[in-house]
A = this chain, B = another copy of it.
């Protein structure tokens, strides 16, 4: 597998675009509507937020994808179209307007929104902008699309990979947005993945769920899960592989690529968490099983106290143990070792569940790097897991103390 450029427009038959339509009316420089298009219909699948309060575009996309088919994705930023008057109608209008200009069925459009909740979507500017958006579609358009779905994100999240499948060269691309309200089960994240592989849609959803469980569901920025979020995959089959419909060598290769793409985008979300200055990875080894390791690692990256300690480069491992303790997962504190690691080195700070004396200056140096690994070693079995988060900073408070106004 090889990383390449081109993002969601890298696979054969896909193009993308992102322009300013006026949803983010405060800043005409900012792109606010993205479009991804396949020249042929795709088998498609998505996973959605588990929040009981779901934004209108989520419901509309669920309906549109119920036949496992899609050909385009339209997404605006700046307004979540959640708990907003006329939400469903506006989401449908976005599909209709895109479909009409692209000359495809309205039900083959995936629609998504992200931004502030509860305010009416300015659907007029989106409708008016669609002809320009469709005209802008190109093989170079992924960058613009990736930027058009950003809210408080500081960096664009985009990747593409090339790999072999069934003797064919297959390409997969992805873009995502994250930032705040990131937590398992699709907390404010949007992710759109395209590929020219051929996959049967019901099986595709199964593979997507497996990939999300190991990647997006292991990211926490602030413990809040959002109303809007989804990860959708469109597979147009133009690479010419035999359709993947069951477990086997091909599905494994496809899943590997999907996990690679999702893992990269998930880590980007953690790294670009609102206000974040550190990417924090919690790794757990020696757990009784992988599920336990996942629960423990998620509790550690989700703890406000661990996150604040990481901000302060403070080797406060007691908070790591404490978070593991309330995770609900089974482990023996008295058989737990904790290391902090970064490119500056590694230091053991807790052995057999008890504090040991260590060089505080060295720990501080290690924790001052941008990327920190909290490495937790248990003695229960062979279960491993990792989760990604970020530190809790003054900027997180600043951004979220006045996001709407």
Contact = CB atoms under 8 A, between A and B. Distances in A.
Interface stretch (A35-43, A101-109, A207-215, A300-308): A300-308
A271 interface: no
Interface in A160-193: 180-181, 183, 185
A117 B336 CA distance: 15
A388 interface: no
Contacts of A331: 52
Nearest to A50: B326
How would you classify the secondary structure of chain A's contact residues: helix, strand, loop or mixed? loop
Interface stretch (A236-244, A315-323, A340-348): A315-323
Q: Among the interface residues A226, A324, A331, which one has the most CB atoms of the partner chain B within 10 A?
A: A226
Contacts of A223: 223, 302-304
A397 B393 contact: yes
Contacts of A322: 51, 53, 82, 117, 181, 224-227
Nearest to A312: B401
Contacts of A308: 396-397, 399-401, 403
A11 to B, nearest CB: 33
Contacts of A355: 83-85, 117-120
A333 B52 contact: yes
Nearest to A328: B52
A353 B84 CA distance: 8
Contact of A53 (B314, B333, B405): B333
A402 interface: yes
A384 B222 CA distance: 27
A129 interface: no
Given A82-B318, A83-B355, A304-B396, 15 more contacts: A52-B326, A53-B321, A53-B322, A85-B354, A117-B319, A118-B318, A118-B321, A118-B354, A180-B305, A181-B305, A185-B326, A227-B325, A308-B396, A311-B401, A314-B404
